[in-house]
A and B are shown apart, each in its own frame.
Chain A
Amino acid sequence: MAAAVPPFERFYEAHSTEVFRFLGRRVGRDRAEDAFQETFLRALRAYPRLEHGEHLRAWVLTIASRIVLDDVRRRRPEGELPELATEDERPAFEELAPLTDELPPKERAAVVLRYGYDLDYQEIGGALGSSEAAARQAASAGVRRLRKERQ
């Protein structure tokens, strides 16, 4: 049986520090405060629709990632193209969100965290509540699926 959705207080206590650090690394400490509040307000709005308490850590980090994307989009002047991370042809993370919308949630999270945020597989495994190997597998399955879809 899947774990029950915990009371929000317990979920918040378990993940707030990590989410705040994650946001601090992505948008800087100043903007992290607003992003933090927005992340947990969004989580709170969506919370009654959760059907089980599995993968809540990955879930809230995904919400935080979306807020980072929104923040980046807002700050980019109109019409300016996003910078591409060129050295290894990884798309910049703001490019990834629309591309990965169709992926299964776990693959999507793995792809975005790996190629968008440059987390290593151990970190991604931690975020998804799975092993390093499973995270690697989810990311490469996601990339394969994306290639297939784009052909």
Chain B
Amino acid sequence: MTDMLSPALDERFREAAAAEGLLDVAYDVLEDTPIGALLVGVTDRGVCRITFDPEPERELDLLARLYGSRVLRASRPVDRLRLELDEYFEGRRRHFDVETDVRVMPEFNRRVLAELARVEYGDTTTYGALAARVGNARAARAVGTVMNRNPVPIVLPCHRVVGASGKLVGYGGGLDRKEQLLRLEGALL
């Protein structure tokens, strides 16, 4: 039909919206990463969201509530993260250069996530050790909750945090994925 909106025009609008800085969050769905579909969201400050097995409608509401109603799918703002994730999954990147935006998290969460960001590729740490690094060695359980609510998994590497016994314990994206990521990084044989 000639009066249908063409994909090119649709893309052109989405790009212009992002280029003019009019979006609270630009997001896209990366359909086929080695760990399945990922929804990724980016603000003008950095990556604010990475979701496994996303339900886009639910994510839209959540992003709008947290960051503002101007949430639009747009691929250009996500390009850099997409590239870094590709390199990471191919084993060619050990450290993410994209900024993260975790401003909506409570202060304690932000402190824990800042420490988490220092856990290196190929390494693991424990919930208790991470708790000690933010000044409260007994807060292992609270740290576990922070990991579970990490808005940007993979980039902020909560998969590198395991139980004191060495068991993987839990992961927001499922234990299979945690294991897969740790294997990719050579932290598990």
* Binding site secondary structure of chain A: helix
**Is B63 in contact with chain A by the CB < 8 A criterion?**
yes
Q: Is the CB of A33 within 8 A of B3?
A: no
Residues of A within 8 A of B13 (CB): 16, 36-37, 40-41
Residues of A within 8 A of B4 (CB): 17, 20
Q: Is the CB of B68 within 8 A of A48?
A: yes
Query: Interface residues of B, CB < 8 Å — how many?
Result: 24
- Distance, CA A41 to CA B13, complexed state (A): 8
Q: Is the CB of A20 within 8 A of B73?
A: no
Residues of A within 8 A of B70 (CB): 8, 44, 47-48
B43 to chain A, nearest CB (A): 14
Known: A24-B3, A37-B9. A7 touches B17 (CB 8 A): no
Contact with A along B1-38 (1 / 0, CB 8 A): 01111000110110011001011000000000000000
Look across to chain A and name the residue whose beta carbon is closest to the beta carbon of B14.
Answer: A12
Residues of B within 8 A of A (CB): 2-5, 9-10, 12-13, 16-17, 20, 22-23, 57, 60-61, 63-64, 68-73
Residues of A within 8 A of B (CB): 5-10, 12, 16-17, 20-21, 24, 29, 33, 36-37, 40-41, 44-45, 47-48, 50
